[in-house]
């Protein structure tokens, strides 16, 4: 009989099941997967979650009502960095450890940003479509070398993007209200405000974390500040951007193009205009998803789960206060 049950709603874990599951099973655990991988709505999630001692989670909702309905649950471990779908305060209130696996996808996301910068600049999707359709035309692009890159959110990923862009001799403008101008300068960036960044940049890369106060921080007002030759990239979180405003910016030529990897609603509806605009390079929230990043993240999230079930403090707790709370569900170890 299994010592514990681990629910997985994160598809990236399931795709690596052959290497991701053995440490769980070696510890005496049973792994179960939701029939449809996440994000799941609460009504889909709860029947699975009631059977679980821990969950390796997609961007499913973990809030008071969900956690109250699942008294067996001890740990919610987000696969990856972002945890905006996890109500950390509710987890503490309900005695559930909340964790994530930060930093393991930094290089993957930064690679993606540079990749789409080059693809937009040289119009690679259009060139590939021409060839697939049997055509032949000279497609003129622009150079990335020597251009100005504006980075919104100068955390680990923003800094990794900057490191790569410096290889293209780019000027780096950075906006991050959590960092001093001196700290940004240490990484060879120039601190500035958002309007100035959007006016000056040839490429804008959005790499900020999502918080209640910055939802839809990128809207029509900022997009109208951009040059008509400039490109916008979102490899962060969809709700940071006013999507209707971005659609207008692309449709009406306020900007030259965009690369979008994260959306307000995921999966993105089939009829959403961002899928079909010719100057939008839309990808299915995969910037993080490399073999190397997935392997490292899988190891980290499994260790977070096992740490909680052993009665230990995990490496990446989001709510460390829960371990001293009388409500904490993990006080008696399962392992």
Q: Treating both helix axes as pointing N-terminal to C-terminal, what angle do 106-121 and 291-309 enclose, rounded to 10 degrees? A: 150
> What digits encode the pLDDT tens for the residues 141-183?
999 999 999 999 999 999 999 999 999 999 999 999 999 999 9
Report pLDDT digits (tens) over 123-133: 999 999 999 99
CA–CA separation, 51 and 71 (whole Å): 10
DSSP per-residue codes, 9-42: --HHHHHTHHHHSHHHHHTTEEEEE-SSPSS--H
CB 201 within 8 A of CB 148: yes
pTM reported for the whole predicted model: 0.91
In this structure, what token pair is assigned to residue 150?
């504006």
Per-residue pLDDT tens for 67-118? 999 999 999 999 998 899 999 999 999 999 999 999 899 999 999 999 999 9
The residues annotated with a catalytic role in the active site are 237, 266, 285
Distance, in Å, from the CA atom of 31 to the CA atom of 166, rounded to the nearest integer, reads 44
Distances (CA, A) of 231 to 119, 142, 224: 11, 11, 12
pLDDT at 282 over 90: yes
> Domains plus CATH for the chain?
4-104+290-324 (3.40.50.720), 106-282 (3.40.50.720)
First-to-final CA distance of the chain: 13
Torsion of CA 239, 243, 245, 251, to 10 degrees: 150
Short-list 151, 142, 164, 154, CA closest to 228 = 142
- Tokens, residue 38: 């996440």
- Whether 290 has a pLDDT exceeding 90, the answer reads yes
The pLDDT value given to residue 1: 84
Output the average pLDDT for the chain: 97
pLDDT at 199: 98
Going through 79-147 in order, the beta strands assigned E by DSSP cover 97-99
Q: In whole angstroms, how far apart are CA 98 and each of 65, 74, 255, 312, 327?
A: 16, 9, 40, 13, 14
Higher pLDDT, 211 or 77: 77
Query: How many other CB atoms sit within 10 Å of the CB of residue 151?
Result: 30
Dihedral angle sign, alpha carbons of residues 296, 298, 301, 307: negative
| pLDDT at residue 4 in the model | 98
Q: Which of 81-85, 214-218, 245-249 has the lowest mean pLDDT?
A: 81-85
Give the model's pLDDT for residue 154: 98
- Whether residue 286 is predicted with pLDDT greater than 90 in this model: the reply is yes
Residue owning tokens 């987890």: 91
Sign of CA dihedral 178, 184, 189, 192: positive
Tokens 């509806």, residue located: 269
pLDDT at 166: 97
The CA radius of gyration of the chain, in Å to the nearest whole number, is 21
Average pLDDT over residues 37-52: 96
């Amino acid at each position: 009989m299994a010592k514990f049950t681990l629910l997985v709603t994160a598809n990236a874990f399931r795709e690596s099941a052959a290497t991701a599951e053995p440490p769980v099973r070696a510890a005496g655990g049973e792994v179960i997967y939701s029939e449809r991988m996440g994000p799941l709505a609460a009504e889909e999630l709860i029947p699975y979650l009631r059977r679980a001692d821990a969950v390796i989670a997609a961007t499913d909702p973990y809030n008071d009502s969900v956690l109250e309905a699942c008294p067996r649950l001890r740990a919610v471990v987000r696969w990856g960095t972002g945890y905006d779908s996890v109500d950390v305060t509710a987890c503490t209130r309900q005695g559930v450890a909340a964790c994530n696996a930060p930093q393991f996808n930094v290089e993957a996301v930064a690679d993606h940003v540079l990749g789409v910068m080059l693809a937009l600049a040289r119009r690679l999707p259009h060139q590939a479509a021409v060839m697939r359709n049997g055509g032949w035309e000279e497609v003129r692009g622009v150079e990335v070398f020597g251009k100005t890159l504006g980075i919104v959110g100068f955390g680990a990923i923003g800094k990794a993007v900057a490191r790569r862009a410096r290889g293209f001799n780019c000027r780096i403008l950075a906006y991050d209200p959590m960092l001093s101008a001196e700290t940004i300068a240490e990484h060879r960036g120039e601190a500035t405000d958002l309007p100035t960044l959007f006016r000056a940049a040839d490429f804008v890369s959005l790499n900020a974390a999502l918080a209640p106060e910055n939802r839809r921080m990128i809207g029509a007002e900022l997009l109208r500040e951009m040059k008509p030759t400039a490109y916008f990239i979102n490899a962060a979180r969809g709700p940071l951007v006013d999507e209707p405003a971005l659609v207008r910016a692309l449709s009406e030529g306020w900007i030259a193009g965009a690369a979008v990897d994260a959306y307000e609603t995921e999966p993105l509806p089939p009829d959403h205009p961002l899928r079909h605009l010719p100057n939008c390079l839309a990808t299915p929230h995969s910037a993080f998803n490399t073999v190397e990043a997935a392997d490292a993240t899988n190891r980290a999230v499994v260790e977070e789960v096992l740490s909680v079930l052993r009665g230990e403090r995990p490496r990446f707790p989001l709510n460390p206060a829960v371990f001293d709370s009388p409500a904490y569900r993990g006080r008696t170890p399962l392992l």
